[in-house]
Structure 1
Amino acid sequence: MKKRKVFVFIFIGLALGLFIIQPLAISLHMYDMQGDNGEWWKSLLASYQQEFRVWDLDQAIIKLLFGLLGIALSLMFMVRQRIFQLTGRKDKLEEIRELIAAGENQQVEFKSTLRWDLRQFKPNKALEDVIAKTIAGFMNTQGGHLIIGIDDEGSILGLEQDYGTLKKPGKDGFEQYIMQLVSLKLGTHFCTLVKVSFHQFEEKDICYVRVHKSQKPVYLNLGDRSHFFIRTGNGTRELDMPEALEYMETYLN
């Protein structure tokens, strides 16, 4: 995949050099030789016409140089983009490391697994509801950070056991499962408030879920009724109907 990306940038750079940089340079030179008289776009059109004529040795060398210039610029852009990505990833790792070190609080929750029961050694649907409850609580309060793959004490457990329970094992399947859970349990329109990413700690994957605050009430659908949850301290609490109405009137308006 990385080699393919490099080849794509090389192709783009070659096209940039031959069909944009070279015609622009030649047209500006022609326009300057004419004493800046006339219309520049005609010089540009003439340079494109020259571009497709039969190449002699001099023209071939010029095209090669402009092609190499375009490739160099394209690869420099690719490297610059990669540096920004690595810097952003490093910053995110440091942020997550600080969240783990600080422990659980009103805006941070740790979960050992998404759906693998560590006691029964099998998938457990009830654990998925706990994840959905936490996400709903964050949305109804101030937003928060859910980290899956570590226990309550901050020890890294990883996601391997969860991966094995999915129809599509791996990060993509895991992310799809979380988004499907949000869609089914909370509502599809709330998926935009959830951002999922994966990071490695101690050579194990963890899932970082950034949950943003909702501007309207979020209900968790369980069985035949809806439930309203908020974050209080380092836990998630359900409010009864009178409490929920009072809370919504005070904090969600």
Structure 2
Amino acid sequence: MRNRVLSKKVLLSFIPMGAIIGVFVLKPLVIMLIWLEFKLPANPDVPLPTYVVNNMLKSFSFEMILVTLAFASIGMIIGLVFWLFLKEVAKREQMIDFLTNQPGNDLAALIAVGENDTVEFKSSMRWDYQNDKLNKVLEVVIIKTIAGFLNTRGGTLLIGVDDDGLSLGLDKDYSTLKKKNSDGYEQYINGLISSYLGTDLCAKINIMFHQLDDKEICRILILPAKFPVYSQNGNKTQFFMRAGGGTRELNIKEAMKYISSRWESN
């Protein structure tokens, strides 16, 4: 289905189908609305169905052909818009499939490959293992990584796994939340994304949870953004990208050059 939606050949079926809908669905609806709004026809003995049928029979007459073509054009535009929408949905699903399956469905295999341009490990989102306490600065690190993936070509962020690939789980993070489970964790992540990056970007993020070595791991799939994504940390606006298996911040000059090559050239 996804491959068919992406095919231009399918467009050839959506456009004529839209024209048919425009003429035989939209036009009768408009005729009925006009009848109801202006209490037409002048002869009250002509019922609404008869009025609609009579007008539709004239659709391809000389005096009505331009109106009919107008409705056909509107339908064709609707068909085109619907095709574009399905195309974007298909692209999103394909990207999710790609990220979900790198290098396969086995999470252990993904961790074994190690960190790279499209995979990053984080021990936690809020719990500082080194100092054994809550540290909200780590939230900014998570946002930095997500922003970097958004601004590059997407990727996978695993939370609950240290740099060496050891499974630490999410229990420590859960203990810092009001809702101490995966639902609360997902809500909190989405809240961070909304606050730092923008609510609309939550649609680019898929959050799921897996069991590994009797520990729960958070897996975040990030799709590449269609526009530059900036992180707003208080009064500080930052731009991040993935490079060399890590996330780095670009200065204004670097960011402008990268944005020009990444988006403006498309």
Secondary structure at the aligned position of 2:164 is classed as coil
Contact 2:103 2:110 in 1 (8 A): no
Cα pair distance change 1:219/1:102, threshold 3 Å = same
Aligned partners of 2:125 and 2:198: how far apart in 1?
19
Q: Which residue of 1 aligns with 2:144?
A: 133
Cα pair distance change 1:234/1:90, threshold 3 Å = closer
Percent of counterpart pairs with the same letter? 48
Tell me the alpha carbon deviations over residues 175-221 of structure 1, each in whole angstroms, 9 at most, x when there is no partner: 00100010001001111000000000011100000000001010011
Q: Which aligned pairs between 1:1-253 and structure 2 lie closer than 5 A?
A: 94-253=105-264
Aligned partners of 2:129 and 2:221: how far apart in 1?
24
Secondary structure at the aligned position of 1:191 is classed as helix
Aligned partners of 2:155 and 2:125: how far apart in 1?
17
Contact 1:100 1:154 in 2 (8 A): yes
Alignment gaps of 5+ in structure 1: 1-88
Aligned partners of 1:122 and 1:170: how far apart in 2?
19
Structure-2-length-normalised TM-score: 0.60
Aligned partners of 1:90 and 1:242: how far apart in 2?
36
Aligned partners of 1:145 and 1:90: how far apart in 2?
10
Tell me the alpha carbon deviations over residues 125-166 of structure 1, each in whole angstroms, 9 at most, x when there is no partner: 110000000000000000000000010010100000000000
Secondary structure at the aligned position of 2:105 is classed as helix
Secondary structure at the aligned position of 1:94 is classed as coil
Letter paired with 2:203:
T
Contact 2:208 2:218 in 1 (8 A): yes
Letter paired with 2:245:
N
Matched residue count? 165
Structure-1-length-normalised TM-score: 0.63
Q: CA deviation at 1:223?
A: 2.3
RMSD: 1.9
Q: Which residue of 2 aligns with 1:83?
A: none
Aligned partners of 1:154 and 1:118: how far apart in 2?
15
